[in-house]
Amino acid sequence: MTGTLTIVGVGPGRSELMTPSASAAIAAATDLIGYGPYLDRVTLHPGQIRHASDNRVELERARHALTLASEGRNVAVVSGGDPGVFAMAAAVFEAIETGRPEWRDLDIQVEPGVTAMLAAAADVGAPLGGDFCAISLSDNLKSWATIRRRLEAAAGADFVIALYNPLSKARPHQLGEAFTLLRQLKPASTVVVMVRAAGSGDVSRIITTLGEVDPAKADMRTLVLIGSTATRLIARDGKPPFVYTLRREVEDGR
């Protein structure tokens, strides 16, 4: 007998931002596997088993989930945001590629969720209205040289850049280094938005420029958006500006 494995995104914070399909997958599971703080956002039903683990053991977590599914359990692997964006879906498929042959025959589904950059963008307007890319500043699984190369490429192509995992206690310097690099490649007037706890009840926002931004204002719960030449601010009396990016190409910043 084989079970099922569903990789679920629970959204960025508020329960309303979890999709009905993700909620149904969680409710149908016999076992819930994930990083502890993400599992804390899920209400267990009678008979469900919770398997919490640390944040840096994604492959071990994936192998555990696959093992339980192959034993006939209905497993939900819980990620924050969207499970396919710097999260558990890739870890599960990596474990399948390098793991036991029978894992390839399992019934595996991915349930999408609202990822942090979408929630952060919605909090300030429409900064992702034009072409954009997402880059994680974490060098746990790739080198800082690779991150620098991707930042340079994104800046050269004039993408709006969403930065995930901007800093942590173990690497407090990297967001500052990223800003220093980007200041060499983009105008100081480039719009920068930092949204902490996007999509949650305690969201906070900083709207500034690349020349003025302070990396010390960010933490691991912060999503950083760096505008393109087509990103605009709409000033409002007594209220934060709206931020949006033109969908059309601009010339000379106009």
pTM, full prediction: 0.91
Domain ranges of the chain: 4-114, 117-245
| The residue to which tokens 């969720």 are assigned | 113
Model confidence at 202, in pLDDT bands (50, 70, 90)?
A: confident
Rounded distance between C-alpha atoms, residue 176 and residue 170, angstroms: 14
At position 242, the amino acid (one-letter code) is F
Report pLDDT digits (tens) over 18-74: 999 999 999 999 999 999 999 998 989 999 999 998 877 899 999 999 999 999 999
Inform me whether the pLDDT recorded for 169 exceeds 80: no
Rounded distance between C-alpha atoms, residue 197 and residue 163, angstroms: 14
Rounded distance between C-alpha atoms, residue 65 and residue 43, angstroms: 19
Average pLDDT estimate for 80-99:
95
CB atoms within 10 A of CB 173: 11
Model confidence at 223, in pLDDT bands (50, 70, 90)?
A: very high
Inform me whether the pLDDT recorded for 172 exceeds 90: no
Report the pLDDT value the prediction gives residue 191, as an integer from 0 to 100: 97
| Mean pLDDT for the chain overall | 93
Which CATH number describes the domain made up of 117-245? Answer: 3.30.950.10
Rounded distance between C-alpha atoms, residue 119 and residue 178, angstroms: 22
Rounded distance between C-alpha atoms, residue 30 and residue 7, angstroms: 14
Output the six-digit token pair for 69: 């599914």
Q: Which fold has domain 4-114?
A: Cobalt-precorrin-4 Transmethylase; domain 1 (3.40.1010)
Percent of the chain scoring above 70 in pLDDT: 98
Rounded distance between C-alpha atoms, residue 222 and residue 160, angstroms: 16
| The residue to which tokens 């709006």 are assigned | 160
Percent of the chain scoring above 90 in pLDDT: 81
